[in-house]
């Protein structure tokens, strides 16, 4: 097999590629934050009576909350802020498809490239 | 003045090729791995209590410990055989192919850079909380942390990891001191586990909460696999890497168990699940000013050690990408005097700074975990391919892990559970990150790969892989 000679990349091309990667990194990490996609899916289940008892805290728990500087009123939003684990099937299916498609592409495309590497490496010998 | 000329692969000084220095021993490998991870005991693991309750945090501590034991076993075998900077990146290049290697390097860079960001935010927030001065923000502390540690990494790997060894050891000892200071053998005096974790609140969300808690359970140990990044800088990779990694894993399992026991016995799970400083809070609640101050300092040191190790690892992964021309070769320069991948260190510095200012701690941790779990999924498949392409006896391995393929299967299954756990609460972020990796993979495969020298991607003195 003929040895593959890659093209020389110009300085401008190198700078452009660096810019592409930087932009991609920022889009991937910053966009979910900007669109509000990042962060936990939690919400507060409010209670009318804001007492340690109503908040489900026994005497030991209440004394620790107070040591930490909380009152039943200020602890209410912490204690009543809950995850609601409802499985959203369409989103779960989309997530599974995206993950599987990604890994399938990754392994198949990698294998194609790997065969070129192996052919060139071992045909040289 | 030194005249340095950079080629695509290395830096040449007066005709001599400059490479990374082989100066590290097993203690440095331990310091790198545990140094990166130990901050997870000081913050992060406790968010698993938020997702599933205090008992869920303990269950995932054990099960995720099993996941990471599998990671450490698998990693030790492959890395003791493929000893090159970039760790899992070099493994992927030799076993799966260039595109996978490119992705693995990005997983590493993202996982470590976001972990570094989390560390810097933690350090800044801890100082601000301790100072209690109105109007004081964490920004200057974050910037100083990232810049000073980048400078330390720029100046040399030996000094960097010597510093890490000392501060990691101090932070670790502080957990042991706290544990024995609160009379762990006696319930009711300081520790009140029975009154805080009751049958009614142990699993507030039931078993779905336990699965959900896997996400932050990862934080107990995330980054231990970073030991492999030092492969090109340890004196004896075949001995130091398995020894340092497994010793690190044992150290962390002990620290995680002590941390959970003390924290779950000292604060209600609702508070434990949201605090940024569970161990420092435990020090405060003990009533001892000495313990409070010790845990405050240890929290800072653990964050420093972790950020320090993360800069080291992320820079080496980025450096490897440049050296193989997966990214512009400009990144592959080694500093002629300090022998460090200085351009990669400097390039990642502003990225870390930027995200430290726009993301909060919880989000930065999630970004890091996502990249970590993608990488562990790769590792479980990678070891199967490694054993298939080069069966035992066909090449010299520095270490052979036992019970194959059980650790790989366990690792793969636990990764699937963790993906589901991330979906429970952070699903949109997972999809967004995966789409990013998909798009950047298309860019690499259809465009960037043309600059890569094919045969040079396989540098190990191994026979042709079976099946090719």
Residue-wise pLDDT tens digits, B274-305: 999 999 999 999 999 999 999 999 999 999 99
Residue A50 lies inside a defined structural domain of this protein: yes
Residue A64 lies inside a defined structural domain of this protein: yes
Tokens of B441: 């993979």
Cβ-proximal residues to B392 (8 Å cutoff; 6+ apart), any chain: B400
In this prediction, residues A81-90 reach a mean pLDDT of 89
CA dihedral sign, ordered B313, B318, B319, B321? positive
- The helix/strand/coil state of B12 is strand
Residue B15 lies inside a defined structural domain of this protein: no
Residues paired with residue A81 on neighbouring β-strands, in sequence order: A44
Task: Please report which confidence band the pLDDT of residue A1 belongs to, taking 50, 70 and 90 as the band edges.
Answer: low
d(CA B13, CA A123): 33
How far, CA to CA in Å, does A91 sit from each of A96, B164, B373, B431, B451?
A: 9, 42, 19, 9, 38
Mean pLDDT of chain B: 88
d(CA B31, CA B28): 5
- pLDDT of B190-246, one tens digit each? 999 999 999 999 999 999 999 999 988 888 888 888 787 777 778 877 778 888 888
Nearest CA in chain B to A12: B328
Number of domains into which chain A is organized:
1
Provide the shortest C-alpha distance from residue B162 to chain A (in Å). 32
Among A10, A40, A52, the strongest candidate for a mutation testing the B interface, having the largest count of B CBs within 10 A, is A40
Which candidate, B10, B28, B19, places its Cα nearest to that of B236?
B28
Tell me how crowded residue A39 is: count the other CB atoms within 10 A of its CB: 17
Number of domains into which chain B is organized:
1
In this prediction, residues A17-36 reach a mean pLDDT of 80
Q: Which domain does A59 fall in, by range?
A: 42-83
Residue A123 lies inside a defined structural domain of this protein: no
Residue A63 lies inside a defined structural domain of this protein: yes
Q: Which domain does B221 fall in, by range?
A: 22-457
d(CA B465, CA B51): 45
Task: For residue A32, give the nearest of B114, B281, B429 by CB distance.
Answer: B429
Task: For residue B328, give the nearest of A9, A28, A78 by CB distance.
Answer: A9
Whole-number percent of chain B with pLDDT over 70: 94
Nearest CA in chain A to B375: A103
Residues of B in contact with A64 (CB under 8 A): 196, 266-268, 271, 285
Residue A111 lies inside a defined structural domain of this protein: no
- pLDDT of B96-149, one tens digit each? 999 999 999 999 898 889 889 999 999 999 999 999 898 899 999 999 999 999
Q: Looking at residue B286, which CATH number applies to its domain?
A: 1.20.1740.10
Across the interface, whether the CB atoms of A113 and B358 are under 8 A apart is answered: no
Residue A114 lies inside a defined structural domain of this protein: no
Residue A30 lies inside a defined structural domain of this protein: no
Residue B12 lies inside a defined structural domain of this protein: no
Q: Is 70 exceeded by the pLDDT of residue B5?
A: no
Q: How many CA atoms lie within 13 A of A88 on its CB side?
A: 12
b/e sequence A80-108, b meaning 16+ C-beta within 10 Å: bbebebeeeeeeeeebeebbeebbeebbe
How far, CA to CA in Å, does B98 sit from each of B75, B317, B410?
A: 19, 14, 26
Q: Which of A1 and B277 is assigned the larger pLDDT?
A: B277
Across the interface, whether the CB atoms of B424 and A99 are under 8 A apart is answered: no
Across the interface, whether the CB atoms of A28 and B436 are under 8 A apart is answered: yes
The per-residue pLDDT for B19 is 64
At residue B354's C-alpha, the angle toward residues B352 and B360, to 5°, is 85
Tell me how crowded residue B345 is: count the other CB atoms within 10 A of its CB: 24
The per-residue pLDDT for B388 is 96
The per-residue pLDDT for B442 is 96
């Amino acid at each position: 097999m003929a040895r593959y000679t890659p093209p020389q990349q110009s300085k401008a091309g190198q700078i452009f590629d660096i810019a592409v990667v930087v932009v991609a990194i920022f889009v991937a990490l910053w966009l979910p934050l900007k669109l509000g996609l990042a962060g936990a899916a939690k919400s507060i289940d409010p209670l009318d009576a804001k007492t340690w008892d109503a908040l489900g805290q026994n005497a030991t728990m209440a004394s620790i909350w107070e040591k930490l500087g909380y009152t039943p009123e200020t602890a209410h939003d912490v204690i009543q802020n809950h995850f609601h684990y409802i499985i959203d099937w369409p989103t779960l299916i989309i997530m599974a498809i995206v993950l599987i498609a990604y890994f399938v592409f990754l392994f198949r495309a990698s294998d194609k490239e790997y065969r070129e590497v192996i052919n060139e490496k071992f045909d040289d010998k | 003045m030194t005249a340095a000329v950079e080629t695509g692969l290395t830096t040449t000084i007066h005709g001599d090729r400059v490479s990374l220095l082989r100066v590290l021993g097993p203690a440095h490998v331990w310091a790198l791995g545990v140094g990166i991870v130990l901050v997870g005991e000081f913050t992060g693991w406790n968010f698993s209590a938020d997702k599933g309750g205090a008992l869920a945090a303990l269950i995932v501590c054990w099960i995720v410990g099993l996941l990471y034991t599998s990671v450490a076993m698998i990693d030790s075998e492959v890395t003791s055989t493929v000893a090159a900077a970039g760790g899992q990146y070099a493994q992927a290049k030799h076993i799966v192919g260039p595109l996978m290697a490119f992705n693995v390097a990005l997983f590493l860079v993202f996982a470590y850079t976001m972990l570094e960001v989390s560390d810097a935010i933690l350090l800044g927030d801890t100082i601000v909380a301790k100072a209690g001065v109105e109007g004081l923000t964490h920004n200057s502390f974050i910037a100083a942390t990232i810049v000073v540690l980048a400078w330390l990494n720029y100046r040399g790997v030996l000094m960097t990891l010597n510093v890490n060894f000392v501060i990691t050891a101090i932070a670790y000892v502080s957990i042991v001191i706290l544990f024995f200071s609160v009379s762990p053998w006696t319930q009711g005096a300081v520790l009140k586990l029975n009154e805080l974790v009751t049958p009614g609140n142990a699993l507030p969300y039931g078993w779905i909460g336990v699965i959900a808690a896997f996400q932050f359970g990862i934080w107990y140990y995330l980054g231990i696999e970073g030991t492999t990044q030092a492969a090109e800088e340890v004196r004896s990779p075949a001995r130091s890497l398995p020894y340092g990694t497994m010793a690190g894993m044992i150290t962390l399992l002990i620290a995680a168990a002590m941390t959970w026991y003390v924290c779950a016995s000292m604060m209600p799970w609702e508070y434990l699940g949201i605090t940024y400083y569970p161990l420092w809070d435990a020090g405060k609640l003990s009533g001892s000013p000495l313990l409070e101050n010790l845990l405050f300092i240890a929290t800072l040191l653990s964050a420093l050690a972790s950020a320090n190790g993360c800069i080291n690892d992320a820079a080496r992964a980025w450096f490897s990408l440049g050296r193989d021309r997966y990214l512009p070769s400009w990144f592959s320069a080694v500093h002629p005097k300090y022998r460090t991948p200085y351009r990669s260190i400097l390039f990642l510095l502003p990225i870390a700074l930027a995200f430290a200012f726009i993301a909060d701690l919880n989000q930065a941790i999630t970004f890091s975990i996502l990249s970590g779990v993608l990488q562990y999924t790769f590792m479980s498949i990678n070891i199967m391919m490694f054993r298939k392409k080069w069966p035992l006896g066909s090449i010299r391995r520095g270490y052979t892990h036992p019970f194959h393929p059980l650790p790989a299967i366990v690792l793969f299954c636990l990764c699937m559970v963790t993906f589901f756990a991330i979906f429970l609460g952070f699903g949109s972020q997972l999809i967004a990150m995966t789409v990013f990796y998909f798009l950047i993979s298309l860019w690499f495969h259809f465009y960037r790969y043309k600059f890569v020298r094919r045969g040079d991607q396989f540098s190990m003195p191994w026979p042709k892989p079976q099946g090719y």
